[in-house]
A and B are shown apart, each in its own frame.
Chain A
Amino acid sequence: MNFLTSLADRDRVFDFLVPAQSPVDVRHGPILYLEDVTVSFDGFKAINALNLTIDDGELRCIIGPNGAGKTTMMDIITGKTRPDAGKVWFGSRHDLLAMNEPEIASLGIGRKFQKPTVFEALSVFENLELAMAADKRILPTLTARLSGAVRDRIDEVLETIGLAELRSRPAGILSHGQKQWLEIGMLLMQCPRLLLVDEPVAGMTEQEMERTAELLTGLAGKQSVVVVEHDMGFVRSIARQVTVLHQGSVLAEGSMDQVASDPKVIEVYLGAEAEEEVG
């Protein structure tokens, strides 16, 4: 019995120490590849022949007016929405369209939702505990114990997201900005290969935004990050590559300065903002 417990224990620590060995194969190209993806809701094409490639270790910003299909695109990648047509590949080995949400999540694709959804009845610490990369089948979850290594890892992430002091409080009492941080923390606990981050700075103060920018740029390289954001200042501060989405397909792609000077982009998106700024 003791032997079994110690075996199980060692396994768990082991699991955790090897940071999410995602089986994704990126030797022959991008980590994420979307080709001619189309989705329509009651005849309305929310995504229209969308092509997108994300390289391994890249930090990509996706911008676009409301209703451009940014969130829907993330729904497709994570298996929440099934496209009517097209291909979605994770590395060169995994066809995401043939998998369901938990399978995709365990492949190493983590997601932060536009509207932060944390588990309000659970404490901040427990939220991170659940998010942690681990064996998520029933029996291992039932018998899981908080090992020292796990605790340390959660503490580390608590420090990173600045919620260490609130660790034992229910997540329901957090402010909107703090919930965003907790969501990012939950994402970090999963050690994903690819992070999909939907509007991370909504409801944040300037300082919080700066820290978020630091955090996300710090992640790039080790992990691939796709950020959807409306806040232009924020995008400018983190982006190397920007993709502009409009009516469900790519309108422009390039550095922030390139897309900002693209007349098509100015017309549909930045124009509106520029006018606002002028006006």
Chain B
Amino acid sequence: MWLTRPFSERSTLIFLGVLLAALLLVTALHLAVPRGHPLHVTAYTVNLLGKYLSYALLAVAVDLVWGYLGILSLGHGAFFALGGYAMGMYLMRQIGDRGVYGHPELPDFMVFLNWDSLPWYWLGFDMAGFALLMVLLAPGALALVFGFLAFRSRVTGVYLSIITQALTFALMLAFFRNEMGFGGNNGLTDFRDILGFSLRSDATRLGLFLATGVALALGYVLCRAIVASKLGRVCVATRDAEARTRFLGYRVERVQLFVFVVSAMLAGVAGALYVPQVGIINPSEFSPIFSIEIVLWVALGGRATLYGAVIGALLVNYAKTVFTGVMPDAWLFALGALFVLVTVFLPRGVAGLLGYRVKRLKRRRQDEEDTPTAGREATA
């Protein structure tokens, strides 16, 4: 079965083991160690880590298309945000009549705008199942339409990157407008419950953190399964020699479309897990800069490894939290400097550093296997 193939790979098992251990450790330190003890992990930190994990899932989604398929999407923030908005709409509907205006059905911002009924596209979002479906379908549909047009006309490389930026920018402008019905520049916020659990309780936060960890694990395994399949090798072939792949009879644009849509859906799930943890979704998630930042995480962590994307997302966002606490204005400069340093000294990212020793060992073993045969060929 192609989906279970990753479980026979050592690297995947190591990744899952480390992730599981980290989730358990944080849970134990949060629940079992008394408050005030230096080892206690606060609910605030659990929440923060949950946010990082959702970023990590987003980074894995970007690495799938960029690392393996060579599509540098600078618009993945849009898919993340759409997933986030779908979740936000569900959370808004869960507020019920507890809003400031106490309207039984309409979210506060609609009452404020003097709307008298829910727009049609808000219908169904009071049901968790429907909202979950939209978390996948909204980004998936956008990726399908966008990808269909772009890949069919063979738009790749820099041009594709630029139009993905334009896409997310256009969506940002659209979502800023009050008439769109998504809360304008304030976005959606003041959430109360998720699935009946209060978002303000520590237990819910821990639950969301763990759910995000599980989603990251599942997303990772799914991506690994794609990458380790024959289709994954077709992706790499497309990345390195697109025309050649076509002559072998593969419909390159369909491969691109398929992987792009899967990636967009994963980004949507990441956004949906992010929103209840930060308590707000607004159009700033569509900002072109954010999409570029995601790509930087992947580049720093190491492209085309998947685990590198996770490492990059965690490291950069941790650094960002620390840095913005000390010198908020300098963060973008620090990020830029970090990026330059890594591309110069670690062209294959942090993962390249990790993989280096393993590769060297493997190579030595392989060379020992190959040399006698090479000798034989030379004498033949």
A interface list, Cβ under 8 A from B = 5, 78, 80, 101-102, 105-106, 110-111, 113, 117-122, 126, 129-131, 136-138, 141-145, 162, 165-166, 168-169, 186, 190
Q: Hey, what's the 0/1 contact readout for B296-335 against A, CB within 8 Å counting as 1?
A: 0000000000000000000000000000000000000000
**Contact between chains at A102 and B237 (CB < 8 Å):** no
CB of B116 within 8 Å of the partner chain: no
Pairs across A and B, CB under 8 Å, 26 listed: A5-B1, A80-B243, A102-B246, A102-B250, A117-B241, A117-B243, A118-B244, A119-B240, A120-B240, A121-B236, A121-B239, A121-B240, A122-B236, A129-B233, A130-B234, A130-B237, A136-B248, A136-B250, A136-B251, A137-B251, A138-B254, A138-B255, A141-B255, A143-B229, A145-B2, A165-B370
Q: In the complex, what distance in Å separates the CA atom of A172 from the CA atom of B244?
A: 15
**Contact between chains at B1 and A165 (CB < 8 Å):** no
Listed residue (B249, B258, B370) with the most chain A CB atoms within 10 angstroms of its CB: B249
Closest to A173 in B: B370
Closest to A141 in B: B231
Chain B residues with CB under 8 Å of A126's CB are 233
Closest to A80 in B: B243
**Contact between chains at A130 and B230 (CB < 8 Å):** yes
**Contact between chains at B236 and A119 (CB < 8 Å):** yes
Query: Chain B nearest CB: distance from A131 CB in Å?
Result: 5
**Contact between chains at B1 and A141 (CB < 8 Å):** no
**Contact between chains at B248 and A130 (CB < 8 Å):** yes
Query: Chain A nearest CB: distance from B361 CB in Å?
Result: 15
**Contact between chains at B373 and A190 (CB < 8 Å):** no
Chain B residues with CB under 8 Å of A129's CB are 230, 233
Chain B residues with CB under 8 Å of A143's CB are 2, 229
Chain B residues with CB under 8 Å of A119's CB are 233, 236-237, 240-241, 244-245
**Contact between chains at B370 and A169 (CB < 8 Å):** yes
Chain A residues with CB under 8 Å of B112's CB are none
CB of B366 within 8 Å of the partner chain: yes
Q: In the complex, what distance in Å separates the CA atom of A80 from the CA atom of B109?
A: 55
Q: Hey, what's the 0/1 contact readout for B193-213 against A, CB within 8 Å counting as 1?
A: 000000000000000000000
Listed residue (B1, B231, B244, B373) with the most chain A CB atoms within 10 angstroms of its CB: B244
The one of A102, A166, A186, A190 in contact with B251, judged by C-beta atoms closer than 8 angstroms, is A102
Q: In the complex, what distance in Å separates the CA atom of A5 from the CA atom of B4?
A: 14
Chain A residues with CB under 8 Å of B57's CB are none
Q: In the complex, what distance in Å separates the CA atom of A150 from the CA atom of B226?
A: 20
Q: In the complex, what distance in Å separates the CA atom of A113 from the CA atom of B366?
A: 30
Q: Hey, what's the 0/1 contact readout for B217-239 against A, CB within 8 Å counting as 1?
A: 00000000010011101101101
Closest to A110 in B: B247
Query: Chain B nearest CB: distance from A147 CB in Å?
Result: 12
Q: In the complex, what distance in Å separates the CA atom of A169 from the CA atom of B234?
A: 17
Q: In the complex, what distance in Å separates the CA atom of A105 from the CA atom of B229?
A: 22
The one of B233, B237, B241, B373 in contact with A165, judged by C-beta atoms closer than 8 angstroms, is B373
Q: In the complex, what distance in Å separates the CA atom of A145 from the CA atom of B241?
A: 23
Closest to B304 in A: A121
CB of B118 within 8 Å of the partner chain: no
Query: Chain B nearest CB: distance from A119 CB in Å?
Result: 5
CB of B368 within 8 Å of the partner chain: no
Query: Chain A nearest CB: distance from B206 CB in Å?
Result: 36
Knowing A117-B244, A122-B237, A169-B366, the reply to whether A144 touches B230 (Cβ < 8 A) is yes
Chain B residues with CB under 8 Å of A110's CB are 247
Q: In the complex, what distance in Å separates the CA atom of A113 from the CA atom of B243?
A: 11
Q: Hey, what's the 0/1 contact readout for B367-380 against A, CB within 8 Å counting as 1?
A: 00010011001000
Q: In the complex, what distance in Å separates the CA atom of A226 from the CA atom of B239?
A: 29
**Contact between chains at B230 and A142 (CB < 8 Å):** yes
Chain B residues with CB under 8 Å of A169's CB are 366, 370
Chain B residues with CB under 8 Å of A121's CB are 236, 239-240
Q: Hey, what's the 0/1 contact readout for B82-111 against A, CB within 8 Å counting as 1?
A: 000000000000000000000000000000
Closest to B374 in A: A165
Q: In the complex, what distance in Å separates the CA atom of A113 from the CA atom of B255?
A: 23
**Contact between chains at B248 and A105 (CB < 8 Å):** yes
Chain A residues with CB under 8 Å of B373's CB are 165
**Contact between chains at A105 and B240 (CB < 8 Å):** no
The one of A80, A162, A190 in contact with B248, judged by C-beta atoms closer than 8 angstroms, is A190
Q: Hey, what's the 0/1 contact readout for B254-289 against A, CB within 8 Å counting as 1?
A: 110010000000000000000000000000000000
Closest to B251 in A: A102
Chain A residues with CB under 8 Å of B226's CB are 142
Closest CB pairs A-B (n = 6) = A165-B373, A105-B249, A144-B230, A142-B231, A101-B246, A141-B231
Chain A residues with CB under 8 Å of B377's CB are 162, 165
Q: In the complex, what distance in Å separates the CA atom of A169 from the CA atom of B374?
A: 13
Query: Chain B nearest CB: distance from A85 CB in Å?
Result: 24
Q: In the complex, what distance in Å separates the CA atom of A130 from the CA atom of B1?
A: 19
Closest to B250 in A: A136
Closest to A135 in B: B249
Q: In the complex, what distance in Å separates the CA atom of A74 from the CA atom of B241?
A: 18
Query: Chain A nearest CB: distance from B105 CB in Å?
Result: 43
Closest to A103 in B: B249
**Contact between chains at A113 and B240 (CB < 8 Å):** no
**Contact between chains at A113 and B244 (CB < 8 Å):** yes
Chain B residues with CB under 8 Å of A131's CB are 248
Chain A residues with CB under 8 Å of B370's CB are 165-166, 169
